[in-house]
Chains A and B, each alone.
Chain A
Amino acid sequence: MWSDLLAVTATDPGLLVLFVGFGLVVGILFGFFGMGGSFLVTPALLMLGYPARVAVGSGMAFVFGTAVIATLKHSDLGQVDYRLGVLMIAGTTVGIELGRASVLYLETLGLAAGIISVVYVLLLGAIGVLVTRDARGGSGRALAADGGLPPAAVWIHTHLNLPPRIRLRGDVHVSVWIITVVALSTGVLSGFLGVGGGFIRMPAMIYAIGVPVPVAVGTDLFEIVFSGGIGSYLYGQSGGVDLTIVVPLLLGSALGARIGSAATAIVDAEGIKIYFGLMLIAGAVAVAVGEVGGVLGVTALEQLGLVLVIGAAVAVAAGILGQVVLTIRRRDRAD
């Protein structure tokens, strides 16, 4: 264990800088969106030649550490709803098992890999397009004029207003049953796709439960602390967590997560949604290119998919920083 820690100092300096820089970018996105960790890190580690077990396990341990930091920062900003988080954790855990069971069933039919890839790409793209359109006002009904619940949440709250109800941050009163259904469904998708699921949970909390965007991000991160912690522990038991990867990544992401989390309190909700949607659309294109490459056996296409997603991540992170600077200056002028 301690030899693993000492091994960090013996790592190639170029690789250390790469990990710290990559961690910084992923941390900004993670703190800002409450998603994107395993989405970016695991494929990158696989490309660097790490075995799948180490890439997934170390990616998960990195996500766990970054989620702790981002949750602490969001908690400081009053953007974590712990009651909602606990309910979501319970429902998601059951849902993940149902999702995994459906994957096992599809595997017996020999259809799992193809269906999962197609659903993953379609879901990433569809959520990306919907969120971006909503934020840009393309749907014409982004949020109620008084800044209240999104129309989808209003409809759901009206038709599923069963007791017991709880009050969430942002003065949202919601039936526990709505939270349970949302947690179960997002858990099923997460277990089915084998991903953390932040890109599904975050919009589900906004559009179905109706919590404000920064609270959705903070609460999602709180949930990831638990899922990431348990996942890291399970992978760690089989030697899948490599500290020479996790320690430098965390060094960068700790700073990035603070910046990204703080940015959610500066950039307006529609701005967060636009960047979130663009990131998902870019992710859908990149995953699709990578999957096509995998099916055709063209390694160059698989690598292009990874380059696209990392390029999009760097561009979106830079865009978030630029938006923060612009917002601060605009508010300053308004004052």
Chain B
Amino acid sequence: MVGLSVPTWDPQTALLIGIILAEAVVLYVGYGLIERVVGPPLVRAIRGRRRHVE
């Protein structure tokens, strides 16, 4: 493959990408926890049912 860009090792850039990856994973887990708490009442609100009905 002529012209294929092959990345060379660069610790600073690896750290930069690592920070973005870590932020993504932390946010995924964090929003997942929020989803667990907020999700069920939100779905109930969308369905238009009162909590005690269920």
Contact = CB atoms under 8 A, between A and B. Distances in A.
Contacts of A64: 17, 20-21
A230 interface: yes
Contacts of B4: 93, 97
A68 B28 contact: yes
Contacts of A313: none
Nearest to A255: B31
Contact of A250 (B7, B20, B32): B20
A1 B43 CA distance: 41
Contact of A243 (B13, B19, B46, B47): B19
Nearest to A65: B24
A258 B13 contact: no
A47 interface: no
Interface residues of A, number: 36
A258 B31 contact: yes
A64 B22 CA distance: 12
Contacts of A247: 23
B41 to A, nearest CB: 13
Contacts of B15: 1
Interface string B16-49: 1101110111011001100100000001001111
B9 to A, nearest CB: 10
B14 A233 contact: yes
Contacts of A221: none
Interface of B: 1-5, 7-8, 10, 12-17, 19-21, 23-25, 27-28, 31-32, 35, 43, 46-49
